[in-house]
Amino acid sequence: MLGFIVRRLMSSLLVIGLASFVVFGIFYLGPSNPAQPVCDGAGARCTPERLAAIEKQMGLDKHVIPAYGEFMAGVVNGREIDFGVTTYDCERPCLGIAFGTRNQVTDELKERIVPTFLIAIGGSIVFLTVGVSIGIFAASRRGTASDRLLVSGSLLVSSIPYYLVCLLAWIFLTLQTSIFPRTGYFPITEDPLKTFGGLLLPCLVLGVATSPAYARYTRGQMVETLGDDYIRTATAKGLTRRLVLFRHALRAAIVPIVTIFGLDFGALLAGTIFTEQIFSIDGIGRWGLAALRSPLDLPIVTATVLIGALFIVLSNLIVDIVYGFLDPRVRLG
């Protein structure tokens, strides 16, 4: 098992390294010039000579390979970054200085990762609980009216665009009826109850909107597993229906669901853009969306893409390790 974990860890580090190089290359060689916002905001008229001088100060006149080396060295050791006549001491892990606020990108990231993480956790609890439970119930009653009703209902919920679900929930459940408290992120260190209330509706909406997919995954795996020979043998031995479903069938069917959940959870950590934007939560997704607007804040865009890739790769690594414990055949592969 140790060799399996080491192989997966090495491959994950390779993927993260390649992803960071690709993202940095897009940032460095893209059509947008990172020195242009600095030159425009310097107070004087941005002439070609002034723009070229700022590009040299920011190191944009270098080849992409040595520039990437400096960027990675800054992530590990920190570095100094020049913006016009001002030099900023960017502490490790240095992901750059935001164009708009002139703050270190890592510091702004730390402030926004907590609400995104809480939304991901809360939404995951809801859609795993609701989706897997519905899938088990539908599979245990395959072909009945209850099964058809649950499958049709899940398809109906899945057909509604997620942003529309968020918007309608916010309007009717918060603005008009005040069933839920005002949404938003309030620091958990100041008032945990207010934090819970501000994130309750976003987590419920995210969980309910995602649960139909897990209901279908679970039902499909359970139906396939319930037809296996060892399930019929366990039933013939006189085991109760509940014991057969949860100890034997669900244990075998849960492995692919764990894989899908790991990828989905990594994507949620990368930023729930619609959820954060509609419910006014300053998380990673909303932060990155604001950076894409004019003027384009490329250090923040780069940081959000890198963090998203990191979360997805780490989630995939954890799933591979858990998969290896659940199914020994994976380790042999």
Instruction: Verify that 96 and 120 share a domain, yes or no.
Output: no
Instruction: Verify that 159 and 293 share a domain, yes or no.
Output: yes
Structural domain count of the chain:
2
Domain limit, last residue, from 57, 82, 105: 105
Instruction: Verify that 127 and 266 share a domain, yes or no.
Output: yes
β-pair partners for 104: 97
173, exposed or middle or buried, with CB in 10 Å at 0-12, 13-18, 19+?
middle
Instruction: Verify that 290 and 324 share a domain, yes or no.
Output: yes
Instruction: Please state the rounded mean pLDDT for residues 254-261.
Output: 83
Q: Say how many C-beta atoms besides its own lie within 10 A of residue 188's C-beta.
A: 15
Judged against a pLDDT cut of 60, whether residue 14 lies above it is answered with: yes
Q: Which two tokens mark 5?
A: 């974990």
Domain limit, last residue, from 105, 129, 153: 105
Instruction: Please state the rounded mean pLDDT for residues 62-84.
Output: 83
Q: 282: domain range?
A: 110-332
Instruction: Verify that 80 and 194 share a domain, yes or no.
Output: no
Instruction: Verify that 148 and 78 share a domain, yes or no.
Output: no
Instruction: Verify that 52 and 192 share a domain, yes or no.
Output: no
Are the C-beta atoms of 291 and 194 separated by less than 8 Å? no
DSSP per residue over 7-63, as a string?
A: HHHHHHHHHHHHHHHHHHHHHHHSSS-THHHHHHTTSS---HHHHHHHHHHTTTTS-
List pLDDT tens digits, range 259-314: 888 888 888 887 688 899 899 898 898 898 888 776 677 788 888 888 888 888 88
Q: Which two tokens mark 129?
A: 């609980």
Instruction: Verify that 221 and 296 share a domain, yes or no.
Output: yes
Domain limit, last residue, from 53, 72, 105: 105
Reported pTM: 0.83
Read off the CATH number of the domain in which 237 is found: 1.10.3720.10
List pLDDT tens digits, range 173-197: 998 888 898 888 888 888 889 999 9
Separation CA 195–CA 188 (nearest Å): 6
Instruction: Verify that 162 and 210 share a domain, yes or no.
Output: yes
β-pair partners for 79: 90
List pLDDT tens digits, range 37-53: 777 766 667 888 888 88
DSSP per residue over 52-63, as a string?
A: HHHHHHTTTTS-
β-pair partners for 86: 83
Instruction: Verify that 261 and 153 share a domain, yes or no.
Output: yes
Query: Which pLDDT value is given to residue 307?
Result: 87
Instruction: Verify that 266 and 127 share a domain, yes or no.
Output: yes
192, exposed or middle or buried, with CB in 10 Å at 0-12, 13-18, 19+?
exposed
Instruction: Verify that 179 and 326 share a domain, yes or no.
Output: yes
β-pair partners for 90: 79
